[in-house]
Structure 1
């Protein structure tokens, strides 16, 4: 029988005290969304200018969206290749972007220490296994490319890789130090507490109907006048007027095992709490949790017509079963371990897969998002950048190439539905073809065109 639960991360987490009832009718800065992007933005604004009146509005509760459901990778990984950034903005700009992403990983850990946020931050790096010859070829190509950009990604031969992570059918792996593990909900709750300590107001259970220059309209007819408005709505951006084709909500689902005994972990590895994945086309991701479970997730759930978001989409029995099979195939050492949790939620993908951050000073409207699942670290960079932009400062962050980037709109239905789901299907077919032949899939170029690669 399929088990669908709330996210593992929501258990035994003490929520910060809620604001008193009532929505103020005015603020210096109003932020829509109390996930990582909104809270990091509020945090840096208040740290720089304690006099600001910063209001964060959240439709559900702090960390309800991807910020409280994700795989817990504080990662410098980016959904588009450096060469694509360099082709538009130049090599120096691409190098600067990558350097900031790398430093952001350690920056998040620093804030956790400074603000006493018990987020289970462990800077162990990321190991990405190459399962089969085709994945090994792709992995070694990625290492050669990373050398051009100073990303410190190393190729590990099968023996070295096995010492870190004893994956089945292992042909090697790549390893990078620029990734940390975190407990997602503890991080978001800790950020909310830090924002409140600094005088920010967070009002939960308030559904925003529209965010326009100078004003935010919420359910019940209330309008909040604001000097600046920040949209930090990620997948839920597709629900806002005039923005329904800006991003598509794509669902990522996760499962978690019961805690594994030390003897099993001695066989598996991840001794430094590295996060892990493989070099397949269908994205998978995992971590060893603080209490020695495996939290494991991946794509594969379908895109829903009209960019729909609904609680029922958080569960897909077929995808949950596939995730469990994939994990036990990767790590047969887990045996017949009990899977205790299964959950999911949407993330946001822009048409060209490029995240963006920006602030229209004339209109007083800011935004950030479209992280394609790489937002735990990128949202911190977005928050720091938005704070500089809103405060009118020209800094190294405000000149990064993702600042002010505008992605093309997604196609109308039914093209959107057909295209997104075709991409998901092609990724699965490519992996199956490579497993069967041992050669790079001939479908990969077509997959790249569908995903903006």
Structure 2
């Protein structure tokens, strides 16, 4: 790293607010009242992120009366994972085509089509509802930044061709002509599989429309106990209780009233930076005329994208696990991850030296050992859960909401036939084993990236069984 890059990175963070840019805006909605007293519902949704919001939305479309749906959140709607992500809405339900082919070779084709249909329906719903969330169908480019990654992009192109994906391999000259960075060696352009959104505005828009239709949203409402009662369930909270016939648990990496979910979830802290708006000269210096999302091809990767107000979001690479799987706001500004991201940013775009970051934040991703969500039921089928999207939940959350509702209905559906839905991920070992295993795996991944992608025996063993560590 050059002295100039180090200096640019150091000065760029001096005034960055320790808060998510997406939710740190004047248009953020006022906090809603918590549950008070006893509330009756047909459907209770625990967690007001994307999975929970889509569960309420899809329940209405299936015929549930809106005024019989209650959505509760321990904090605020979209405040946690759904308000802290990069705003990439991917079609993939399998954490990429290669991963899906490895784990579910007989199902990867139908799952890919399912994902495409889910993304198309999500986009149509957002547009029909008039939700202003900066939705852009600009796609994504995956970038080779090391020589060994170039052949990986070629292989991904061949796999995409087999499944009818419209992917374009870009040479060094082509990709650098598109986005001007000296670090790019090749690119794989996907124009249809990813949509960009402002995630907080999407969550706020979904919530506002649900309320307009009659759904009750209660914030500051942590469920302390979820149990059977009569023919339904009861959810106890600090201010009261909700009596419901059925419930959906959509709490992602955050504490859940279903303790069993801790066996499948590994909270990994992901870190993000947001720049100030670029000047016209700065925009010209980097090109990026199509405004697509960008991501590295390495095991430890960055993701970045422009915003509709002229900024650049830059996140990823580090995936930090805290002993015991604890989730704590104090972790969000700890360590050197933001400083490391700033250095990586100016190594990618040295021509932007002098640009400052206005926001720096972090949050836990609900990762599983297979990088896809875990589904199931509890309390005699009265409760369904969908958690563990491992960084690709903005789009897959709508599919997961449908899966949860399918499970509650007890009726067969096309979604329930998939092994991805029927089989849960391999459980994560408990502490004190979990932390050393995670840290050893993380060191192995870093070593593989330094050694031209060569994976050691431990990583190859995990690959064989479809297990891993990812954000």
Structure 1 and Structure 2 fold alike (TM over 0.5): yes
CA contact (8 A) 2:234 2:243 kept: yes
Q: Could you say if the C-alpha distance between residues 179 and 224 of structure 1 is closer, same or farther in structure 2, counting changes exceeding 3 Å?
A: same
Equivalent in the alignment of 1:121? 135
Deviation track 1:134-179 (CA, whole Å, cap 9, x = no partner) reads: 1112221222222222332221112221232222232110111210
Q: CA deviation at 1:369?
A: 1.9
TM-score normalised by length of structure 1: 0.91
1:79/1:372 contact within 8 Å kept:
no
What are structure 1's unaligned runs of at least 5 residues?
Answer: 435-439
Work out the CA distance in 2 between the residues paired with 1:84 and 1:301: 19
Which position in structure 2 is the counterpart of 1:447? Answer: 459
Counterpart of 1:183 (choices 173, 189, 198) is: 198
Q: Distance in 1 between matches of 2:137 and 2:284?
A: 20
Partner SS state of residue 345, structure 1 = strand
SS in structure 1 at match of 2:364: strand
The answer to whether the Cα contact below 8 Å between 1:128 and 1:173 also exists between their aligned partners in 2 is yes
* SS, match of residue 443 in structure 2: helix
What's 1:233 paired with? 251
CA 1:449/1:334 → structure 2, altered by over 3 Å: closer, same or farther? farther
In the TM superposition, what are the counterparts of 1:274-353 in structure 2 within 5 Å? 274-353=292-371
Local SS of the residue matching 1:313: helix
Equivalent position to 1:243, from 247, 261, 271: 261
Aligned to 2:48: 34
Contact 1:237–1:247 (CA under 8 A) maintained in structure 2: no
Per the normalisation by structure 2, the TM-score is 0.87
With over 3 angstroms needed to count, the CA separation of the structure-2 counterparts of 1:446 and 1:96, relative to structure 1, is same
* Aligned 8 A contact 2:268 2:366 in 1: yes
CA shift, 1:233, in A, is 0.5
- Contact 1:42/1:54 (CA < 8 Å) preserved in 2? yes
Q: 1:391-402 alignment to 2 at 5 Å?
A: 391-402=409-420
Contact 2:143 2:295 in 1 (8 A): yes
Instruction: Tell me, yes or no, if the aligned pair for 1:35 and 1:188 is still in contact at 8 Å.
Output: yes
**2:417 aligned with 1:405:** no
Matches of 1:39 and 1:168 in 2, distance apart?
Answer: 41
CA RMSD of aligned residues (A): 2.5
Give the counterpart of 1:368 among 380, 383, 386: 386
Match of 1:169 in 2: 183
CA 1:145 to 1:198, structure 2 compared with 1: closer, same or farther past 3 Å? same
Residue 18 of structure 1 corresponds to: 32
Runs of 5+ consecutive residues of structure 2 not aligned to the other structure: 1-13
- 1:271 corresponds, among 281, 289, 311, to 289
Q: Is the contact made by 1:73 and 1:179 (CA closer than 8 Å) also made in structure 2?
A: yes
Structure 1 residue 415, shift from structure 2 partner: 1.6
Task: Please say if 1:65 is aligned against 2:80.
Answer: yes
Aligned to 1:208: 223
Per the TM alignment, residue 331 of structure 1 is displaced from its structure 2 partner at its CA by 1.7
Cα separation, partners in 2 of 1:448 and 1:61, compared to 1, 3 Å: farther
TM-superposed CA distance for 1:248, in Å, is 1.0
Question: Mean alpha-carbon deviation: is it higher for 108-117 or for 160-169?
Answer: 160-169
Could you tell me whether the CA contact under 8 Å between 1:251 and 1:299 is conserved in 2? no
Contact persistence 2:224–2:238 (CA under 8 A): no
CA contact (8 A) 2:31 2:76 kept: no
Between Structure 1 and Structure 2, how many residues are aligned?
446
In structure 2, distance between residues paired with 1:263 and 1:115: 37
Q: Which moved more, 1:195-204 or 1:4-13?
A: 4-13
**1:357 lines up with 2:372 in the alignment:** no
TM-aligned CA distance change 1:221 to 1:450, over 3 Å: farther
CA, structure 1 residues 73+269, in 2 after alignment: closer, same or farther (shift >3 Å)?
same
Q: CA deviation at 1:390?
A: 3.4
Matches within 5 A, 1:27-176: 27-51=41-65, 53-78=68-93, 80=95, 82=97, 85=100, 91=106, 93-176=107-190
Please state how far the C-alpha of 1:364 moved relative to its aligned partner. 1.5
Superimposed CA distance per residue, residues 292-314 of structure 1 (whole angstroms, 9 cap, x where no aligned partner): 11111114242111110100111
Deviation at 1:284, TM superposition (A): 1.3
Q: Is the 8 A contact 1:101 1:378 kept in 2?
A: yes
Greater Cα shift, 379-388 or 320-329: 379-388
